[in-house]
Copies of this chain bind each other. A is one copy, B any other.
Amino acid sequence: MQFTEEQFAKHMRPINGSAIREIFKLLARPGMISFAGGNPSNTALEPDVISDLAREVLDKYGTTLLQYGATDGFAPFRESAAAFLNTEGVRCEAAEVLPVQGGSQAFDLLLKALVDPGDVVLCESPTFLGAIQAMREYNAKLVAMPTDENGVIVEAAEELIQKHHPKLMYVIPTFQNPTGITLALKRRKALAALASRYGVVIAEDDPYRDLRYAGEALPPIQSFDEEGWVVYMSSFSKYIAPGMRLGAAAVRNPLLLRKMVIGKQSADVHSPLLNQAIVDAYLRKGLMPAHLERICGDYKRQLNAMLAGFDRFPAGTKHTVPQGGLFVWAELPEGADGLEAFNRAVEAGVAFVPGTHFYPDGGHLNTLRLNFSMCDIPTINEGMERLGGVISNL
């Protein structure tokens, strides 16, 4: 007998993977300038530092790092991650930190713990592609919350909560992926209050927080949460190295933490101990502040070059002016076709991600996501020139 699509779980059949992956295949063409990714710059990565730390922790802990570990985490890492999160304004103790395989796994474990098939999950629209896919894989019903230049509109979110009684809301509050928008302070307080009033778990996905190039840091939504409704999901992917696959979730509600641990037990038993120990050592040695200062200086110049490049674009193009993160979001004049622009841009040797892919319900063809972290400034200038030309000729 031959295996067919009919063998898959019903809700999994239409899930065919990230559109971005197909785009990434095009990036291998010679001379292609990529504004498509979401990676840190290679110059932000420190293989020599990681190599020294690997030796140091293997010398220090020996076989402990190679044996099975506890699902709820390597104790020293839970401590140093809690201390790091505290400096971010997150309220948590070491025992409330769950090491995860990047922020993605924290959200996956939350979905596993909470979602019955058909349950509504509220999210921003546009939002992170990986989160859209994760919600679909747990057979959740995605309902988009209206947003503006200050993030989620709280009154609209409240109406949706009253209408749909969701168990879970997914929010990227700082330098959002894909828009670069930051949720305003008042709205952070208000969302925390909504979570508590209506009994909605908020998944606060905040991996870009420390990539700030202007303005003042805002406290996380989690900092206003008195009752443990907000799960704060941090990651070391954008700060240290995505290839290490290590993040930390702060989960103050012990019932919820326990159920996420149970989900992780059967998913992957625990996060690799070597990776936890390396990041632990990185934090304890106090390497993070100077490292962030260095990479933020570089990223700021790259962002400014990209923003300046919009003067090559036709009148009527709007774009965000993010205070940090890795992305700028552009809206072409109504009626412009971003997919067509994408095809022509690739021919002209520059790639981006059409914004439509970030909308749970599609549409919004006139939007684009541009990343600036992976190109140096001359390349950004050249890429914006090419892209501006393509779009002007649409």
A residues whose Cβ falls under 8 Å from a Cβ of B: 1-5, 7-12, 15-18, 21, 37, 39-40, 42, 45-48, 50-51, 54-55, 58-59, 61-69, 101-102, 104-105, 108, 112-117, 119, 130-131, 133-134, 137, 167, 196-199, 201, 227-229, 237, 240-246, 253, 255-256, 258-259, 261-263, 265-275
CA distance A141 to B78 in the complex (A): 36
A66→B9 contact, CB < 8 A: no
A66→B241 contact, CB < 8 A: yes
CA distance A244 to B298 in the complex (A): 33
B1→A242 contact, CB < 8 A: no
Identify A115's interface contact among B9, B15, B61, CB under 8 A: B9
Identify A55's interface contact among B51, B66, B113, B227, CB under 8 A: B51
B272→A17 contact, CB < 8 A: no
Q: How far is the CB of A111 from chain B (nearest CB, A)?
A: 9
19 contacts between A and B (CB under 8 A): A1-B229, A7-B114, A7-B201, A8-B259, A9-B116, A40-B67, A47-B58, A47-B62, A51-B58, A54-B274, A66-B244, A67-B243, A68-B243, A101-B101, A104-B267, A137-B262, A244-B272, A268-B268, A272-B272
CA distance A245 to B9 in the complex (A): 27
CA distance A244 to B271 in the complex (A): 8
- Chain B neighbourhood of A50, CB < 8 A: 58, 66, 274
Q: How far is the CB of A4 from chain B (nearest CB, A)?
A: 8
Identify A265's interface contact among B8, B17, B263, CB under 8 A: B17
CA distance A61 to B45 in the complex (A): 12
Identify A266's interface contact among B63, B68, B134, B268, CB under 8 A: B134
- Listed residue (A167, A259, A270) with the most chain B CB atoms within 10 angstroms of its CB: A259
- Chain B neighbourhood of A42, CB < 8 A: 63, 67
CA distance A113 to B16 in the complex (A): 12
- Listed residue (A4, A37, A50, A253) with the most chain B CB atoms within 10 angstroms of its CB: A50
- Chain B neighbourhood of A10, CB < 8 A: 116
Protomer copies: 2
- Listed residue (A39, A68, A263, A266) with the most chain B CB atoms within 10 angstroms of its CB: A266
Q: A7-B201, A51-B58 are in contact. Are A18 and B265 (CB under 8 A)?
A: yes
Identify A69's interface contact among B1, B15, B113, B243, CB under 8 A: B243
Q: How far is the CB of A66 from chain B (nearest CB, A)?
A: 4
- Chain B neighbourhood of A268, CB < 8 A: 101-102, 104-105, 108, 245, 268
- Chain B neighbourhood of A227, CB < 8 A: 1-3
CA distance A68 to B345 in the complex (A): 24
A101→B267 contact, CB < 8 A: yes
CA distance A240 to B68 in the complex (A): 12
CA distance A67 to B4 in the complex (A): 35
Chain B: which residue is nearest A5 at the CB level?
B255
Q: How far is the CB of A193 from chain B (nearest CB, A)?
A: 11
Chain B: which residue is nearest A115 at the CB level?
B9
- Chain B neighbourhood of A54, CB < 8 A: 51, 54-55, 58, 274
- Chain B neighbourhood of A199, CB < 8 A: 1, 3, 7
- Chain B neighbourhood of A112, CB < 8 A: 9, 12, 137
B114→A262 contact, CB < 8 A: no
Sorted nearest first, the 3 A-B pairs with minimum C-beta distance are A101-B268, A66-B241, A134-B266
CA distance A18 to B265 in the complex (A): 8
CA distance A244 to B66 in the complex (A): 6
- Listed residue (A40, A67, A227) with the most chain B CB atoms within 10 angstroms of its CB: A67
- Chain B neighbourhood of A59, CB < 8 A: 47, 51
Q: A115-B9, A130-B266 are in contact. Are A39 and B68 (CB under 8 A)?
A: yes
